[in-house]
Amino acid sequence: MQESELILNENGSIYHLNLLPEDIASTIITVGDPQRVSDVSKFFDKVFITKSNREFVVHTGTLNNQPITCLSTGMGTDNIDIVLNELDALVNIDFDTRLVKEHHTELTIVRLGTSGSINRNITVGAVLYSKIAVGLEGLFSWYKTKPKTVLEKKWTERIAEISQDIRPFVFEVDQTLESRFQPHYKPGITITAGGFYGPQNRQLRLVPCFDIISRLSGIKVDNDSPTNIEMETAGIYGLGALLGHKAISINAILANRITGEFAKDPKKIMEETIKESLSILCL
């Protein structure tokens, strides 16, 4: 791989994350907010690596004697594109030879993030795992994707009917991780938007060209409706699947876009979500 494609820093670390292969565990918690990394790692038994570069903060340690990393991604699938590709490079590309390793290393990636409900019955404070992720932000227009499952095809076709000129990309959760989290959290159909304001139909001084929230709330596939909207999950699911990694997204609901409610104590909701998710992951 040419230097312009696989970019390494002077110390041999991957370009944006500024990490070396030995800096990460195979189990990785991702959070959007750099300040939330310490909110997760405070529950680790030990933290022996702390690094930061740009919006990417990394703490690696152990929990219940299991190696674990927490990494901030920043917001949006443009950042997820960087993070997932560089995490994969750390474990599956030999930086000395610039060749793909013969043995593939699989990562387990768990997003612990916030989200807004687009269903009146999903209240503030609820926690969902994303059974299906629907990307409306366009990232996968740039990648060759794999054949879709039956359920992915159904959601792709249904969302395409209401998404105007936006091409949807749909991905299912990793079933192994789903089996671990399903007893604890309800499944959700998560919409990944390309921004926080117009792409999620928020209006300050600019007017969105169409109301995506109303359109989404009126559709069903196999009796399921879209449940929540955020900005990273489809990128994590899609890139994770293409690169051969397991991924699941856990969504703490801080707002209900139908009723207009916002959480009175969002930090408490997120802390409880972090504690429970870590206990599920590192039993």
Task: Return the pLDDT at 191.
Answer: 97
Mind listing the pLDDT tens digit for each residue in 13-50? 999 999 999 999 999 999 999 999 999 999 999 999 99
Residue 1 covered by a domain? no
Q: Which two tokens stand for residue 253?
A: 């609901």
DSSP lists the bridge partners of residue 117 as 228, 256
**Domain range enclosing 28:** 21-281
The one-letter code for the residue type at 33 is D
- pLDDT value at position 197? 96
> What CATH number does the domain containing 217 carry?
3.40.50.1580
For residue 260, pLDDT over 90 is answered with yes
- Tell me if 38 is assigned to some domain: yes
Domains in the chain, number: 1
- In this prediction, residue 217 has a pLDDT band, given cuts at 50, 70 and 90, of confident
Tell whether pTM > 0.85: yes
pLDDT band at 213 (very low <50, low <70, confident <90, very high): very high
Exposure class string for 175-211: b at 16+ Cβ within 10 A, else e:
eebbeebeeebebbbbbbbbeeebbbbeeeeeeeeee
Q: First vs last Cα of the chain: how many Å apart?
A: 39
User: Which residues, listed in sequence order, are joined to residue 94 by a DSSP beta bridge?
Assistant: 99
